[in-house]
Amino acid sequence: MVNLRSTLITTSFVVATALVVSKAVGIKEDDISTSDVLDVEIIEESTFESMDYYALQNGLKTLALNASTLRIVNQSDLYFTRPDGLLYNNAGEEIAFQAKEGKFKNLKEELFLDGDVVFKASDGDYQARELYYNGSKDFLEAKGTIEAKLLDSSTKDKINISSNYMSSWINEQRSLFIGDVNGQVKRDRVYEGSFSFKSERMELNRNKSLITLNQNVFLERNNYDLQAQRAEIFLENYNKKLKYYVLYDDIKLVEQLNTSEGNSQTRRAYSEKLEGYMSQGKIVLTGAPRVEQGDDLIKGYQITLRENVELVEVEEAQSSFKLKKEKE
């Protein structure tokens, strides 16, 4: 005879065990289906001191570097201090650089430099606090106490510029300077002199031999001091019968004249537009021009001044033309 009590206990145990096993299996399957796969990245890193490092790609030199310390990550990215190195662009040209520290991202051909940066490329020499160079795009960006020494390939003019910010598209021979821009253009022939300039923004296009200045523009050349809000300088027109520079908006000219009597005299002129012709030594003023020279006030539709010449040429003189300065 079957023991009913024993049978009930056994049956209950089997059912309970089945439920537990089923639940455990369910949890395991659910965990497997929803668990994240752990992705482990293995980083290879090596550190060296007083290291000379060379890199080749497709048998061509890409980088030569001497550094106080060098850290190589995944045989690709370099981190270094006190670098003195050479980069080679796609044309095989050398780009020399120095800094306090920096890094080089090999796959993207990106160079980051920080502290007392010196960078010498085919288009010019640069100094800055920070500098970024992208070799694949031939793009250069710099910040802080920038000094650039450039050469216009067409005119051979030497152009020295300082600013707070700079970006440059080296292949296109275009550069942008922003913030406290100061510069000087030196002609290839020493006897042709030079001129200095200031502005808040400067664009340089050496393919067109063109300088564009904006905001609080100052030009200084020989006896001339010029102020305006915008200016264009056409470097190729120095010895041509074409305008060499053009100034726009709120123009003020100050010139120190040597008179025929041997005295020094200040000439001041004001207008909305000014064109300078270097080969002819003249300046043409338009846009409500007026000239103050000695005791004379001169007005007209167009006024022409010649460098260090007292004579003032006036076209279509207005009725307000006077030889004596108006009383204010």
| Residue-level pLDDT at 265 | 86
pLDDT one-digit tens code per residue, 121-138: 988 999 999 999 998 888
User: Binning pLDDT at 50, 70 and 90, where does residue 262 land?
Assistant: confident
Give the predicted TM-score (pTM) of the model. Answer: 0.80
> Residues near 70 by Cβ (< 8 Å), separated by ≥ 6?
47, 48, 49, 51, 53, 78, 79, 80
Do 166 and 141 contact (CB within 8 A), yes or no?
Answer: yes
| Residue-level pLDDT at 302 | 94
| Residue-level pLDDT at 34 | 46
Task: Say yes or no to pLDDT of 269 above 70.
Answer: yes
Task: Tell me 123's DSSP state.
Answer: T
Euclidean distance between CA atoms 277 and 306, whole angstroms: 10
**Range 164-192 average pLDDT:** 92
* Least reliable range by pLDDT among 6-15, 106-115, 160-169: 6-15
Task: Say yes or no to pLDDT of 31 above 70.
Answer: no
Question: Which long-range contacts (C-beta less than 8 Å, at least 24 apart) are formed by 153-158?
Answer: 153/206, 154/206, 154/209, 154/235, 154/236, 155/187, 155/188, 155/209, 155/235, 155/236, 155/238, 156/188, 157/185, 157/186, 157/187, 157/188, 157/209, 157/235, 158/185, 158/186, 158/188
Of the chain, the end-to-end C-alpha distance in Å amounts to: 137
pLDDT one-digit tens code per residue, 60-89: 888 899 999 999 988 778 999 999 999 988
Task: Say yes or no to pLDDT of 5 above 80.
Answer: no
Mean confidence (pLDDT) of the chain: 84
Higher pLDDT, 25 or 186: 186
Do 291 and 297 contact (CB within 8 A), yes or no?
Answer: yes
| Residue-level pLDDT at 317 | 63
Residue 15: strand, helix, or coil: helix
Residue 141: strand, helix, or coil: strand
Do 67 and 83 contact (CB within 8 A), yes or no?
Answer: yes
> Residues near 127 by Cβ (< 8 Å), separated by ≥ 6?
116, 117, 118, 119, 145, 146, 147, 148
* Maximum C-alpha span of the chain: 150
Euclidean distance between CA atoms 293 and 274, whole angstroms: 18
Residue 288: strand, helix, or coil: coil
> 263 — alpha (psi -120 to 50), left (phi > 0) or beta?
beta
Helices (H) and strands (E) in the chain, counts: 1, 21
> Residues near 276 by Cβ (< 8 Å), separated by ≥ 6?
243, 244, 245, 246, 247, 282, 283
Residue for token pair 């292949």? 171
| Residue-level pLDDT at 13 | 42
| Residue-level pLDDT at 318 | 55
Task: Say yes or no to pLDDT of 194 above 50.
Answer: yes
Give kind and range of the element (H or E) at residue 298: strand 296-299
Do 253 and 274 contact (CB within 8 A), yes or no?
Answer: yes
pLDDT one-digit tens code per residue, 207-241: 999 999 999 999 998 888 999 999 999 999 988 88
Q: Which CATH architecture has domain 102-315?
A: Sandwich (2.60)
